A and B are shown apart, each in its own frame.
Chain A
């Protein structure tokens, strides 16, 4: 618990590190929400599944959670504070464990402001047309929180394995924007086993029948997390802090 408290305090005491990511996330969510609301902008009742589509806009928060996970780990290497961290707690696997808990919590927490923006815009714009958040939407929000936590763990593991912030960012962006879509296009049978589509996409369940089910996605996500965590622990334990 001491280590987790320390990791959360690290994030709390350097808000500027995360502010840029939060602002970018909110801007995209704001634009996405406006587009979704605008598409339903006519008099009369809201279209079916409007609320589901509305909250699905916040799926982008999961991508930002991956970047947050990278930041939680690589900021320490970038500024050299990892020396102090490992001096206080030389059992590096425990430090990684604490960072994993902190990253998952922070990643999930970053979903909340996005949801607030989405619901505020929708309430102001179409609140008088029967906007209703029910059980399905609450389940979707729970999936978003879980997906963001998993995404943050992906990012943290990649950050721990690489150590370098820029390299980790390039890898994450390159994978999710270029490599995975290309692989999914070239080899459609692999899509359900890829981390973005098969794991996170399935957990979120915002993409319809094209994505694996929640039950199918969880083991895929778990396998990726275990594999990445093993690499992160081995590399971190062996890394010289010079």
Chain B
């Protein structure tokens, strides 16, 4: 669906993307993550034919973007929320895009309705908030009713309601079998919606895995609190379980399960006040992989 193959991009002395390869699965939401300056935006712009790679290639639907027959009807893109003429109204911005691709004017009103901008469509974009501009970008991406979406930080500037709306929109699109590649620095959002995650750092590929697998890999240990912490520690160590840290009545235990710890405590008559598997998160995994 989207395939990046040994992609390299150098801007004079700066190596922005370094031999990057990955594939985005059809019908999935794939998060594209990396710290600031990792090369995410450059990669997405190469995918969209806006930036020429120094070497390697990027293909969408089996073709270079520039070779797509009807790109606006095949790929929807959100780039920067600032890419609007401030003197043009939101509706006119979409009308211009629709005219260039032969889409009917009625489609403009449809997408304005979808993104919730119908009431402000006649206002000049210069007066829009960042969140409204982001919604307008999404409206432009939706115009051609494409099968593939490439979204660069689409949640930027959205308020909590807007982020929730975006999440529901993307989940709805994915539910229709569309492919979505989304870069974001709001990892909690990506974790909630992405099926898979591609992580890059300093232009290089770091990891491509399902979101669940990645988060699980970064899983923390088990937190167990007991008024008999010293005795519990001895029991666990005798059972070959590593106690990684202790602080008063709190122990941190690694490489085992909560069931195992609970069973051992019960078998030895040890009272437990807390037994919790420390939650894993994409953020932890991300930080571990890119630090």
Contact = CB atoms under 8 A, between A and B. Distances in A.
Interface of A: 2-3, 5-6, 9-10, 13-14, 16-17, 75, 79-81, 83-91, 238, 240-242
A241 B84 contact: no
Contact of A2 (B79, B80, B101): B101
Contacts of B72: 87-89
Contact of B83 (A16, A81, A240): A81
B52 A88 contact: no
Contacts of A89: 71-72, 100-101
Main secondary structure of the interface of A (DSSP, over half): helix
Given A240-B52, A242-B45, A88 B71 contact: yes
A83 B96 contact: no
Contacts of A85: 100
A9 B72 CA distance: 18
B166 to A, nearest CB: 20
Given A241-B45, A242-B45, A86 B50 contact: yes
- B-side interface size class: 20 to 34
B52 A79 contact: no
Across the A-B interface, the 7 shortest Cβ-Cβ residue pairs: A80-B83, A6-B100, A13-B92, A241-B50, A6-B99, A90-B66, A240-B51
Contact of B89 (A5, A13, A86): A13
B77 A87 contact: yes
Contact of A91 (B50, B66, B86, B97): B66
A85 B50 CA distance: 10
A168 to B, nearest CB: 17
A241 B65 CA distance: 14
Contacts of A6: 96-97, 99-100
30 contacts: A6-B96, A6-B97, A10-B96, A13-B96, A14-B88, A17-B85, A75-B85, A79-B83, A79-B84, A79-B85, A80-B83, A81-B83, A81-B84, A81-B85, A84-B79, A84-B97, A85-B100, A87-B48, A87-B71, A87-B72, A87-B77, A87-B79, A88-B97, A88-B101, A90-B65, A238-B52, A240-B45, A240-B50, A241-B50, A242-B50
